[in-house]
Each structure stands twice: as structure tokens, then as C-alpha cells.
Amino acid sequence: MEPPITYYTKAEYIETDTGNKVSRKSVICGSQNIVLGGKTIIQTECIVRGDLRRTGGGHAVVIAIGRYCLLSQRCILRPPYKTYKGVFNYYPMKIGDHVVIGEDSVVEAAQIGSHVHIGKDCVIGRFVIIKDCCKILDGTVIPPNTVIPSFSVYGGNPGRLVDELPESTQELYEARTKQFYYEKFIAEHA
């Protein structure tokens, strides 16, 4: 029912002023292009590729992540790319609030709404749009360019609609991510 408490060593994590906790053992590329909304946790061995940005132009946000998000161990966030009119380019990735991305998942989505739960070992293809309040089951493969509407549960390979989420999803996921941040992710007293 309740997730077990995760203990971390205080030395491993950098805590920012806004309460983000980023593991020193994660790979964050192009951090000047990454925005974390606050109280977001990036766990060990995550890879966040902020360096893959649009060619030309000045400073641009490549990966924007909202509040109370959780990037679990070994997940990979990579902005989507395509060749449009003969020009290869990366495009920005936006992630809303209260989003959980499971262990070992690879995400190349263009947009992930708020209150989204992505399971373990998932592959979210390029330019996928996941709207608010969705759940992706463990081990799902979402092919590129898929749109996932609100209150959907997707599973399988290729990912298909398998269920709908109840109306209380918003509060449920909000409570869950907040609970994880405050009560379940605790610094170990070394």
C-alpha cells in the first residue's frame, strides 16, 4: 500500500534553494538548459540530456520539469529530434508537475502533462504527447508521435489503452509525490 522509505546519503545529493534533490551520481548534460520547478528528485544514474538543443539561436530551455517530480534510478530523459525540411533538429521537452518516471525508463516525449505516472522499463517514443492524469504501466513501449489523452492507462508493446483512471487521480498522485518527497525520501544519518 505505502511505498517503503528510501534512505539516501546526504553527501550524494545536491539540494537546491527550491528544494530539488539531484544525485551527484546522475549525468546532467547542459544544465544551463534544464529547468527544475522545485522539490523534484533526480535519483542515482539518471541521464538528463539538456545539451541536445536546437541548432542556432541563443539560450533556450531544452528540458523543463515541474514541481514534485521524481526521476527514478537509471532513467533517461532525452529531447526528441526529427529532420524537418531537410534540417536535423532537437526539440524541447516539457514535463508537468507530480510526474513520476520509473526505473530504467527512456523518455523522448515532447510533452508530459501533470499527474502522470510512468512505470519501470518503459520506452516513451519521440514526440509523444502525454496529457494530464495518465498512467503508463511497467514495460510499456509507446511508439513515436502517439498522443495519450487524459485519464488513460496505457500498457503493452505497442502501448494501447487498457483502462481509464478514476476522477480522483489528480489528488491521488499529488498526495503520492508529496508523500514521497517529504516522508519517504529521507537522508540517512551517516
| Minimum distance, C-beta of residue 159 to other proteins, in the bound complex (Å) | 8
CB of 83 to other proteins, least distance (A): 12
Cβ distance to other proteins smaller for residue 163 or 188: 163
Strands 152-155 and 160-164 turn out to be antiparallel
- In angstroms, what is the minimal distance from the CB of 107 to other proteins? 16
Report the distance separating Cα 131 and Cα 148, nearest Å. 6
> What b-and-e string marks burial along 90-129, b requiring 16 or more CB atoms within 10 Å of the CB?
bbbbbbbbbbbbbbbbbbbbbbbbbbbbbbbebbbbbbbe
Closest CB to other proteins among residues 92, 96: 96
When computed from its CA atoms, the radius of gyration of the chain, rounded to whole angstroms, is 16
Q: Which is nearer to other proteins, 5 or 11 (CB)?
A: 5
In whole angstroms, the minimum distance from the beta carbon of 101 to other proteins comes to 20
The identity of residue 38, as a single letter, is G
By CB under 8 A, name the binding residues for other proteins.
1-2, 4, 125, 131-133, 141, 143-153, 155, 158, 160-172
d(CA 113, CA 96): 5
Contact of 145 with 126, CB cutoff 8 Å = yes
Looking at the Cβ atoms of 4 and 56, the one nearer to other proteins is 4
Q: Is the peptide bond before 80 cis (omega within 30 degrees of 0)?
A: no
CB closer to other proteins, 17 vs 84: 84
Task: Tell the smallest beta-carbon distance from residue 30 to other proteins (Å).
Answer: 27
Of the candidates 184, 139, 138, 189, the one whose C-alpha atom is nearest the C-alpha of residue 43 is: 184
**C-beta closer to other proteins: residue 143 or 186:** 143
User: How near is the Cβ of 100 to other proteins at its closest, in Å?
Assistant: 16
Nearest residue to 168 via CA among 180, 151, 148, 182 = 151
